[in-house]
Amino acid sequence: MPELVLATRNKGKIAEVQRLLTEHAPHITLRSVADFNLDDVDETGTTFEENALLKAETIARQTGLPALADDSGIAINALGGAPGIYSARWSGVHGDDAANIAKVLEELADVADSERGAQFVCVIALCLPDGRHLTVRGEVEGHVLRAPVGEHGFGYDPIFQPVGFDITTAQMDPATKDVISHRGKALRAIAPKIAPFIGAS
C-alpha cells in the first residue's frame, strides 16, 4: 500500500485526518512523524501557507515519502488576526491549550460580544520528495465565547462557536465537527487529489 506521512504528533489531528482519509483514500496507509526519528520542523514562515509547506517539504525530503502537513489556528478580528500562526504557542508554551485559551480570554475581557468574531483557518500542504507540492485552505467563521464550554476536540475548540450553531466545536461529536471544521473543509478539498498526486490511483 502507498504510504503518506502526516507531519504532526498531535493525536487529535491524526485522528481527524485518519477519519477523513478513510473515507476518501482508504488504500493509503497513514503514518505520523512519531514513526520516524525526526526533529520537529521550525515553523519560521509568516503565513499558514508558508508553514504548512515548510513542514511538508522537510518531512517528505527526510522520509523519502509523500508528506501531508497542516498549519492551522484561530484568527480573532479584535486582535488583528492574532494569534494566527502563533495559536499553538500563544501563551509561550507550545501545545498548552488551557494556557492559550486563558490568554485569549484575558485579552478579550473588555471586548463586546458583538466584536468577538473569529475564524478557524487551516492550510494543508501535500509534498512529494522531489519538491512538487500543492496546498488547499479551509476556514470556518464564528465567534469567541467568554468561557470554555465542551469536552471534545482540542486547541481553541471550547471557546469557538461557529456561525449557525449554538454550541462550541468542543461540544460537537466528531462527525459533525468534521463536516463544518476548517480542517475538515481543507481535507475534503485535498483528499480526492492525494492518490493521483502521489501516483497511487
> Over the stretch 101-143, which tens digit does the pLDDT of each residue have?
999 999 999 999 999 999 999 999 999 999 999 999 999 999 9
Q: Which residues of 122-138 are buried (b: 16+ CB within 10 A; e: fewer)?
A: bbbbbbbeeeebebbbb
Backbone angles phi, psi at 108, to 5 degrees: -100, 10
CATH class of 3-198: alpha beta
Instruction: Kindly list the catalytic residues.
Output: 71
Computed on alpha carbons and rounded to an integer, the radius of gyration of the chain in Å comes to 17
CB atoms closer than 10 angstroms to residue 148: 18
Q: Where are the domains of the chain?
A: 3-198
> Over the stretch 25-49, which tens digit does the pLDDT of each residue have?
778 888 889 889 888 888 899 999 9
Residue 157: partners with Cβ closer than 8 Å, 6 or more residues away: 150, 168, 169, 170
CA 119 to chain centre: 12
Measured CA to CA, the distance from residue 191 to residue 92 in angstroms comes to 33
pTM above 0.85, yes or no: yes
> Over the stretch 145-179, which tens digit does the pLDDT of each residue have?
999 999 998 899 999 999 999 999 999 998 898 88
Q: What local confidence, expressed as pLDDT, does residue 20 receive?
A: 74
